Amino acid sequence: MEDNNKFMFKAIELSIKSAETKGGPFGCVIVKDNKIISEGSNKVTSTNDPTAHAEIVAIREASNKLNTFNLAGCEIYTTCEPCPMCLSAIYWSHIDRIFYANTRDDAKNIDFDDSFIYSEVMKSMEERKIQMKQMLRGDALKAFKIWDEKVDKIKY
């Protein structure tokens, strides 16, 4: 448990530094074999990248350092319960465990409110705020067919 605390304290340190500078108040570290392999802090406004959440930044760095998209065997320590985007990225990267400090309600209290996204995901496509229109499916399926038949594909 001491190591867990050490890793979370590092994430908290990153979040404080980010809050004091140009980022949002979020920090994250990814750990493998009891060592920090990557760090991330919120860089949305400093990079004009809406996907540059602390977790995403850390996942990108970990993937680059380990030269793999599969982060199985890793744990993530993040200062807030992951938003829907970050949670999805954590699942896609196959990280084993998530440790978090603040809750989504804590984030909502300081105007980082993801409840709209959570509610949108539960709606049918016709009910969502952003209109979705399917088009050219038959043409797009060609790439799926090629992928499906490919014998040397790298599955993820």
In the chain, DSSP assigns E strands to 27-32, 35-41, 74-80, 97-102
Which run of H or E residues covers position 148? helix 137-149
Among residues 76, 83, 94, 89, which one has the least CA distance to residue 31? 76
Active centre residues (catalytic): 55
Among residues 27, 44, 46, 47, which one has the least CA distance to residue 36? 27
DSSP line for 93-128: HT-SEEEEEE-HHHHHTTT---HHHHHHHHS-GGGS
Q: How many CA atoms lie within 13 A of 138 on its CB side?
A: 0
User: Which residue, chain included where needed, has tokens 């799926």?
Assistant: 144
